[in-house]
A and B are shown apart, each in its own frame.
Chain A
Amino acid sequence: MNVIELVNLEKVYHEDMPEIAVHAVNKLNLAISHGEAVGIVGPSGCGKSTLMQLIGCLDRPTRGSYLLENHDVARFGDNELARVRNKSIGFVFQTFNLLARYTALENVMLPLKYSNDPDPKGKSLAALEKVGLANRAHHLPNELSGGQKQRVAIARALVNTPAILLADEPTGALDSRTGAEILDLLLELNSHGSTLIIVTHDLGVARRMKRVVKLRDGRVEADGTPEAVLGAVEAH
């Protein structure tokens, strides 16, 4: 079953001014099914970020359809999109984006607060447990290491049991060893059923996915196994 189905998806910036209009995403077609681990790669300006924003329901496409769990979210209003982001999408950002004044636990609880969950604390502690940070629940972000911060962010992303985990360069701000640990964690969550989409320019990260989608000029240039899309592993 497809979790995500993008059909002729387009995002045009400044469409009303043809001389500066940018087709960031151009008639893109892509289907991702439940439980996949997909890496989205491509050179700068290929439309990675825009695609991530569209998939994350942070932005609406100019044209085309986006079926998320069989709902055409391209036609959704602001409040419905907010609900979709809350229920169906878990974001992991390169720079963590934790609220500095909130403890790890409170940061994880945030999505549950917006969905008026009856047991935000219990679920958040369970999520922190899953990322191995139960003992850091009451620490503020600036009392945590980079890897720990990203673990908190991951716990926040999965606390609402979303349909997809959407990570934007999740290892970009971490050293390679910590980055590898975070990637291991994401893949482990994926092996337990979460659909994982990672947008990255780090081919090492992309190679660990089961499927890689390479973009160029807002379209899918190649789509397949890492070996098929990126070629054989080069010596590091």
Chain B
Amino acid sequence: MSILETIRTALRALMSNKMRSVLTMLGVVIGVSAVVAMLALGEGTKADIETNIRSLGADVLTVRNGPAQRGAVRAQSVDSLKLEDAEALTAVDNVIAVAPASNGSAQIKRLAGNIGAQVIGVTPAYFQVQKLNIEQGNAITDAQVRGRLHSCVLGANIYNTLFPLGDAIGDHVKIKGLSFQVVGVLESKGSGFSSADDNVLVPITTHMSTLFGRQFVSSITVQVASEDLIDAAKTDVEAFLRMRHRLKPGDDSDFNISSTKDVLEAVGQITGVMTAFLAALAAISLVVGGIGIMNIMLVSVRERTREIGVRMAVGARRRDILLQFLIEAVTVSVLGGLIGLAIGAGGAYGMSKAVGTGFSLPVYAIVLSMVVSLATGVCFGVWPARSASKLDPVEALRYE
């Protein structure tokens, strides 16, 4: 019998018992839809986080204190980056902006208002490199940095808390008991990966001397002329700083450099593992679905024993009977897989719309769900089909 004819025979058997076929399919439908939903939500979330990180700029390198990370073990941090390093870095090829920053936290007070904030010492380049926009007033200027002035730019949340009535420019706030004049307010970035809304920016010189008494900066952000040059620039910056820090070849660097790409890779790895884990959990229900198919197929073989006998009597080979039942099982599972794919994708889309997380249906999820449902049908259909094909025609014809 031709394959096409066998498929027709199998479909016919399924159609003659619609309710049972649908219920059998349900296990695979649930399994596949769960797997697809997990993959779609996982990939969507990953894409979301990546967009967030990318918004920080794919064209920047961040230099931090401490030795380069080696595997998962991180040696004790050493402070090594000086403000002069940052100034000198502007000379490196392809570097278009260098923004040193010094981090600290402090209570910010005004009248009865009091809020904890990240106080960051910055230069004008910081605004460009971090892509911060000014809502009111101005950014920190070179003159303020040079003069170690007590000026500050407030993040949107700080501004809203301390100046509920607005009108902050020219007014003063107290940081660590010292009075600072508000020269600007940042545009709100909204909630995100690391929001500038809760920061207070002051001239880096003031930060390092008057406020926190530091010799070293916390980080230096380097903006590169284009995203493509990021790897080359990373090598150049490293070589330049090693030279400035008088490190011998073979010495570990006393700083480390990371690019947005590095962070993206790390995040991709973490979300990938999470997604795979959730999908694997969902796949367990596929196994249950497969067992359901096997169960029904075994019953079906028993019920149709006489039919199998008749088919054998008129010339069906064992192979024909095997294929007939195997194709029935595969049809149930693949059809279930298709329905599951639709439900899973639709469900994940609905959920992402409702909760506001990302949604992305990768091609590999579609292919995977189809392959897995096909494999489920074959794996769990082969035993019942074999038992059907092994029937003795005499016994089968006699079966009541």
A99 to B2, CA, bound (A): 19
Number of contacts between A and B (CB, 8 Å)? 62
| CB contact list, A51-81 vs B, under 8 A | 53, 56, 58-59, 78-79
Contact-size category for B: 20 to 34
- Whether, in the assembled complex, A135 has its beta carbon less than 8 Å from a beta carbon of chain B, the answer is no
A83/B315 in contact, CB under 8 A: yes
| CB contact list, A84-107 vs B, under 8 A | 85-87, 91, 93, 97-99, 101
* B304-343 Cβ-contact flags toward A at 8 Å (1 or 0): 0011011111111111100000000000000000000000
Residues of B within 8 A of A93 (CB): 397
- Whether, in the assembled complex, A115 has its beta carbon less than 8 Å from a beta carbon of chain B, the answer is yes
Residues of A within 8 A of B392 (CB): 59
In the assembled complex, how far is the CB of residue B300 from the closest CB belonging to chain A, in whole angstroms?
13
In the assembled complex, how far is the CB of residue A121 from the closest CB belonging to chain B, in whole angstroms?
13
B315/A97 in contact, CB under 8 A: no
Closest residue on chain B to residue A87 by CB atoms? B315
In the assembled complex, how far is the CB of residue A48 from the closest CB belonging to chain B, in whole angstroms?
14
Residues of A within 8 A of B191 (CB): none
Q: Which of A59, A91, A101, A116 contacts B314 (CB 8 A)?
A: A91
- Whether, in the assembled complex, A113 has its beta carbon less than 8 Å from a beta carbon of chain B, the answer is yes
In the assembled complex, how far is the CB of residue B349 from the closest CB belonging to chain A, in whole angstroms?
40
The interface size of chain A toward B, counting residues with CB under 8 Å, comes to 25
B12/A97 in contact, CB under 8 A: no
Closest residue on chain B to residue A90 by CB atoms? B314
* A20-64 Cβ-contact flags toward B at 8 Å (1 or 0): 000000000000000000000000000000000100101100000
**Interface of chain B: mostly helix, strand, loop or mixed:** helix
Given the contacts A56-B313, A82-B312, A101-B16, A116 and B2 also touching, CB distance less than 8 Å: yes
Residues of B within 8 A of A114 (CB): 1, 311, 314-317, 320
- Highest count of chain A CB atoms <10 Å: which of B306, B314, B316: B314
| CB contact list, B1-53 vs A, under 8 A | 1-2, 5, 12-13, 16
In the assembled complex, how far is the CB of residue B327 from the closest CB belonging to chain A, in whole angstroms?
15
- Whether, in the assembled complex, A147 has its beta carbon less than 8 Å from a beta carbon of chain B, the answer is no
Given the contacts A59-B394, A99-B310, A110-B311, A116 and B1 also touching, CB distance less than 8 Å: yes
A82 to B1, CA, bound (A): 12
Closest residue on chain A to residue B16 by CB atoms? A101
A111 to B317, CA, bound (A): 11
Residues of B within 8 A of A82 (CB): 312, 315-318
Residues of A within 8 A of B5 (CB): 113
Q: Which of A53, A98, A111 contacts B315 (CB 8 A)?
A: A111
In the assembled complex, how far is the CB of residue B25 from the closest CB belonging to chain A, in whole angstroms?
20
A53/B394 in contact, CB under 8 A: yes
- Whether, in the assembled complex, B393 has its beta carbon less than 8 Å from a beta carbon of chain A, the answer is yes
- Whether, in the assembled complex, A156 has its beta carbon less than 8 Å from a beta carbon of chain B, the answer is yes
A110 to B307, CA, bound (A): 12
25 A-B contacts (beta carbon < 8 Å): A53-B394, A58-B312, A58-B313, A58-B393, A78-B318, A79-B317, A79-B319, A83-B317, A87-B315, A91-B313, A91-B314, A93-B397, A97-B310, A97-B313, A99-B307, A99-B310, A110-B310, A110-B311, A111-B314, A111-B315, A113-B5, A114-B1, A114-B311, A116-B2, A160-B315
